[in-house]
Each structure stands twice: as C-alpha cells, then as structure tokens.
C-alpha cells in the first residue's frame, strides 16, 4: 500500500471512530431524558427497572388520569388544582392509588375534564406539608378514540359544553 492511500485510510478510519464516539456519548447523555413522561407512581417510587426518580426542582412531564372530584378552580383567577393518578385498565380510581397534585395557572384545553388523560409540563416541587406536587406551565389534554367534533356530537344528541371563564378570571393574572 502506498503512503498516500495509507494516509487516506487512517484519516477516514479516525473520522469514523470519532463520529462513533461522539454519537455514543450523545446517546448516553440523553438516555435519562428519552422518556415521554413520568407517571405519578414513577415520581414517588422511581422508574421500573432503574428506580430513577426525578429530583426536586427538575422540569418534568407528568402524565396520568385526572381524578374525578379533585379539580378545584379559583373563582377569582385562572388557577386550577387537580390530582393525577396512573393510567391503568380498567379505569377505576381507588383510595390506595398514588396521586400527585398539579397546580396550573392558565386556560385549560377544551378537552380537559375529570377522568380524562392529560400530560402536564412543569417543575416538581415539595410543598410545605412535604407532599410532592407539580407546578405546571402547560397542560395538554388527550382525547380518546371516541373523539367526535362538536357538530357531529350535537347532531347525535350528545351535549358538549365548552368551559366558560368569567371576565374576572380572564383579567386577573394572579
């Protein structure tokens, strides 16, 4: 092999090795952040297999079902508090379920309702009582496979009532 070919081969080989090492390091660094969201039980007990828990103050995405009867709205502003439970089939809420409270200040999506699956982006906080909760900056509501546009629901006889906010709630920021 002549020296010119040998030099090209070492350059190409070193580039491929370098790209492989960089790709491996990037994938290793992102391995803990690839999850789509944490469930309430994963926040308190850790991920299955690794036992990894989010730390206090960490920005997380939490997903679960809104527990019926847990939604509390402040009549003077847009602050809403609700509890999330794990998504499990069949959908049954039990007193022994692990629950995480979510605090949100803003207009909720139209599809938000009790018993519905949601995903919230926010920060994990430990409250004064020692309980964990999430201060959400964004709430995304998931629709089920039975989703139906309002026009079709109205013609089918199903009642769809859009959430209404008072002027006081919309004008107060705090």
Q: How far apart are CA 119 and CA 112, in angstroms?
A: 10
The domain made up of 40-171 has a fold known as: OB fold (Dihydrolipoamide Acetyltransferase, E2P) (2.40.50)
Q: How far apart are CA 140 and CA 110, in angstroms?
A: 10
Q: How far apart are CA 118 and CA 88, in angstroms?
A: 14
Domain residue ranges in the chain = 40-171
Q: How far apart are CA 57 and CA 127, in angstroms?
A: 11
Residues with Cβ within 8 Å of 11's Cβ and at least 6 positions away in sequence, in order, are: none
In a structure prediction context, what are the per-residue pLDDT tens digits for the chain, which is 174 residues long?
788 888 999 999 999 999 999 999 888 877 655 656 778 888 887 777 777 777 788 888 888 888 888 888 888 888 899 888 877 665 666 666 778 888 998 888 887 888 788 888 888 888 788 788 888 888 888 765 555 555 555 555 556 566 677 777 677 655
């Amino acid at each position: 092999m002549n020296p010119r070919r040998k030099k090209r081969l070492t350059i190409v080989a070193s580039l491929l090795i370098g790209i492989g090492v960089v790709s491996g390091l990037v994938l290793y660094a992102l391995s803990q952040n690839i999850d789509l969201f944490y469930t309430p039980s994963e926040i308190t007990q850790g991920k299955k297999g690794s036992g990894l828990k989010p730390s206090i103050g960490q920005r997380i995405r939490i997903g679960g079902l809104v527990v019926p009867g847990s939604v509390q709205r402040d009549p003077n502003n847009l602050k809403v508090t609700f509890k999330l439970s794990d998504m499990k089939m069949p959908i049954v809420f039990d007193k022994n379920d692990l629950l995480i409270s979510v605090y949100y200040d803003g207009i909720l999506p139209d599809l938000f309702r009790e018993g519905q699956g949601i995903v919230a982006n926010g920060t994990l906080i430990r409250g004064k009582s020692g309980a964990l909760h999430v201060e959400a900056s964004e709430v995304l509501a998931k629709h089920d496979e039975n989703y139906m546009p309002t026009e079709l629901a109205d013609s089918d006889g199903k009642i769809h009532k859009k959430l209404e906010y008072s002027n006081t709630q919309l004008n107060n920021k705090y």
